[in-house]
Amino acid sequence: MLDIKNIYKNFGDVHVLKGVSTHVEKGEVVVIIGVSGSGKSTLLRCMNLLEEPTFGEVWMEGRLMTPPDPYLHEEVIRASKTYGRLRSEGLDDAGAIKKIKDEDLLKEKHPRAEGNAYKTELEKIYRENGIDINLGRQKMGMVFQSFNLFNNKTVRENITLAPIKIGRQRLKEAKKRGESVDKTPEDIVKAANAKAMELLERIGLQDKADVYPSTLSGGQRQRVAIIRALAMEPDVMLFDEPTSALDPEMVGEVLDLIRDLVKSGMTSVIVTHEMGFAKEVADRVIFMHDGVIAEEGTPDEVFNHPKNPRCRDFLSKVLY
């Protein structure tokens, strides 16, 4: 469902992610753990492109969300001028590709320098696989550490804003294409409001529909943030330390909601420091260290039989 291919992320001279690849199956719950600064939040934010990866590709349900990364496509490398030069210097095909990948030789920032054939190949990949970034994001719900509810909207508006705006936009586009549409914009608003009330009822906050987020407690805000993401009916949910900013007595209600969600089969990627929770809900645990995946496996493998010394060290500190 969600494919992460060889992601690198640099902030200036700081290399936060140094080649991360992973794959999230439909219905799978992946928990990412690791010390602060290990790149786990950055990885999550790269998944829906809130951070644009410096290199690498993100694929959502078989569609490419990032620009194509030439290093991941050998036919692109073969079309480049650099490859041609290396071949003429006597290297064989495999040798030239290896040298280019290892030494980062493509002038990927200046596609013109690598010739037209190279550009055509890249564009072809994007044309065949690329998807509008906003479409991709609509399939992913994101929950933030600091909730990020819209301060200028009521709870209900927070939940309905995106469904209404995007629903209307789709309607307009469908009409433009000449398709017959059976919905009116009013229907969209009505449906979004009904959905919002249904979700609010699910978390027991239906009486808070018309208040502003500033009047809610932290736990309530985070639960509203979660159902705001759900209102878009995403295929995968990304949780970025959803309980880190909460007072201890409110952690439970938020974890309960997330637990409900994953139990109902929602594909999820969760970055968290709640090790007990991770152990309980995860199908797979990823331990990040220094920008790479240092250990990966079932909760039992990672928590009870860690092979990586860093991972052992980390777990011994957080699990007492």
Helix axes 185-202, 218-230, angle to 10 degrees: 140
- Please answer whether residues 222 and 147 qualify as being in contact, where contact means their C-beta atoms are separated by less than 8 angstroms: yes
CA distance 151 to 213: 6
Identified binder of other proteins from the candidate list 8, 55, 118, 144, rule CB under 8 A: 144
Is the CB of 221 or the CB of 284 nearer to other proteins?
221
Q: Does 171 bind other proteins (CB under 8 A)?
A: no
Is the CB of 142 or the CB of 271 nearer to other proteins?
142
Q: Does 228 bind other proteins (CB under 8 A)?
A: yes
Question: CB count, 10 Å around CB of 198?
Answer: 12
Is the CB of 237 or the CB of 311 nearer to other proteins?
237
Q: Does 151 bind other proteins (CB under 8 A)?
A: yes
Is the CB of 224 or the CB of 275 nearer to other proteins?
224
Is the CB of 197 or the CB of 232 nearer to other proteins?
232
Q: How far is CA 114 from CA 29, 70, 294, in A?
A: 41, 11, 35
Identify residues 40-69 at the interface with other proteins (CB under 8 A). Answer: 48, 50
The binding track of 99-138 with respect to other proteins, each residue x by CB under 8 A or -, is -----------------------------------xxxxx
Close Cβ partners of 223 (under 8 Å, ≥ 6 residues apart):
203, 205, 253, 254, 257
Minimum Å gap between C-beta 241 and other proteins is 13
Lay out the sheet containing 236-240: strands in order across. Answer: 140-143, 236-240, 267-271, 29-33, 284-289, 292-297
Identified binder of other proteins from the candidate list 36, 152, 180, 264, rule CB under 8 A: 152
Q: Does 215 bind other proteins (CB under 8 A)?
A: no
Query: What does DSSP say about strands 2-11 and 55-60: parallel, antiparallel, or unpaired?
Result: antiparallel
Identified binder of other proteins from the candidate list 196, 229, 246, 262, rule CB under 8 A: 229
Minimum Å gap between C-beta 20 and other proteins is 20
Query: What does DSSP say about strands 14-24 and 2-11: parallel, antiparallel, or unpaired?
Result: antiparallel
CA distance 218 to 241: 14
Q: Does 88 bind other proteins (CB under 8 A)?
A: no
Minimum Å gap between C-beta 134 and other proteins is 5
List b or e across 291-305, with b for residues whose CB sees 16 or more CB atoms inside 10 angstroms.
bebbbbbebeebbee
User: What residue ranges bind other proteins (CB under 8 A)?
Assistant: 48, 50, 134-138, 140-142, 144, 146-153, 161-162, 165-166, 212, 225, 228-229, 232
